[in-house]
Amino acid sequence: MTKDKFTIVIPTYNGANKLPKLLDRLQQQTGLENQQWEILVIDNNSHDNTAEVVKTYQEKWGENSNLKYYLEPEQGSAFARLRGAREAKGELIGFIDDDCIPAPDWIAAACTFAAQYPQAGAFSGQIHGDFDIPPPPDLEFKKIQAFLAIREHGNNPLKFNPDTLNLPPAAALVVRQQAFSNSVPPRPVLVGRVGNSMLGGEDYELLLYLHKAGWEIWYNPAMHSYHHIPQNRLEKQYLLTLAHACGLATCHLRMLNASPGQKPIIFTKTLLGNLRRWLKHYIKYRGKLDNNLIAACENEFFWGSLLSNWDYLTKDK
């Protein structure tokens, strides 16, 4: 008896050079002999030959290909994921970024976990760094690797705490179709990094809606994927900008599920809490930030979190 479908959704922007490696790996998935599944490439207005790359793979895989292509004209990774969810036929939707390569048993491990944890509306696994050059040897690099969507929480399942924004990234994330369709609104507040804006948080926004609807968010250590980190993403300026941008979404995220009466209280607590964190960190590392990359990144994250209140007030609602 054939099991329900599993849908892989790949949001991509100018991903022609990255998609072949990912598509090849997906075709090498194991343990799916009795599993119907499909791959959806959601092209978010690419200016390269992404469409041609997908067409080539469709022709190579033949008329029974499980690979489909969709163009999403509204810019932003949030819109690409929403489009993928609308087109998906699977009971489970696996969102995979075009620069993230899943292990051969990634889909099988996801299906097993979903059956064991029916209350999990979404779950992610171990996301390892696939570095072009070795990262800084300092063990403290682990403090900032989450900014690069690297997550390694050990070998035991655990439940994330959305109330503290303790959540997985969407680089390799599985969501139940039922949870998504019943919880996520058609228009996101945070759309992803578009143009010159580095404001993120759109993946957390999705998960916070699921949390509000009563679903749990879990970590499945049996799912492994490898996030490609090119050399430029280890450069100091990129890391500082990324850390600042991650912090900048803080107030937006804390306000998502708040009622009108709760918002002034949450706004004040967020402002004072972030001010305290930034001051404490800045005083501790004052005069050392130029020579301590880890401390400088943490400082930018705290500073961005503090400015998130202002960004929330000034962002078009």
Q: Give the start-to-end residue ranges of the domains of the chain.
A: 3-232, 239-314
Helix intervals (H) in 88-156: 106-116
End-to-end CA distance of the chain: 49
Mean pLDDT for 108-125 is 97
Q: Residue 225's closest CA among 282, 273, 170?
A: 170
Q: Which fold has domain 3-232?
A: Spore Coat Polysaccharide Biosynthesis Protein SpsA; Chain A (3.90.550)
Mean pLDDT for 231-255 is 95
In this predicted structure, which of 129-143, 228-242, 259-273 has the lowest mean pLDDT?
A: 129-143
In this predicted structure, which of 59-73, 143-157, 251-265 has the lowest mean pLDDT?
A: 59-73
Mean pLDDT for 38-66 is 93
Helix intervals (H) in the chain: 19-26, 50-61, 77-87, 106-116, 177-183, 202-212, 236-248, 250-255, 263-285, 293-314
* 142's tokens: 């682990």
H or E element that contains 120? strand 120-131
DSSP string of 163-206? GGTB---STEEEEEHHHHHHHS-SS-S-----TT-----HHHHH
CA distance 175 to 161: 16
The alpha carbon torsion through 34, 169, 13, 142 (nearest 10 deg) reads -120
Owner of token pair 């930018």: 300
Mean pLDDT for 155-160 is 98
- Determine the pLDDT at residue 16: 96
* 291's tokens: 């020579």
- Count of residues making up the chain: 317
CA distance 38 to 156: 29
Mean pLDDT for 116-141 is 91
Q: Residue 147's closest CA among 77, 51, 248?
A: 248
Residues 6+ apart with CB under 8 A from 162: 207, 208, 211, 217
Is it the case that residue 315 has pLDDT exceeding 90?
no
CA distance 239 to 235: 6
Q: What angle do CA 187, 159, 265 make, to 5 degrees?
A: 55
* 118's tokens: 């029916």
Higher pLDDT among residues 143 and 161, named by residue:
161
H or E element that contains 316? none
The sign of the CA dihedral 43, 46, 51, 57 is negative
Count CB-CB contacts under 10 A for residue 313: 10
| Mean predicted lDDT score pLDDT of the chain | 93
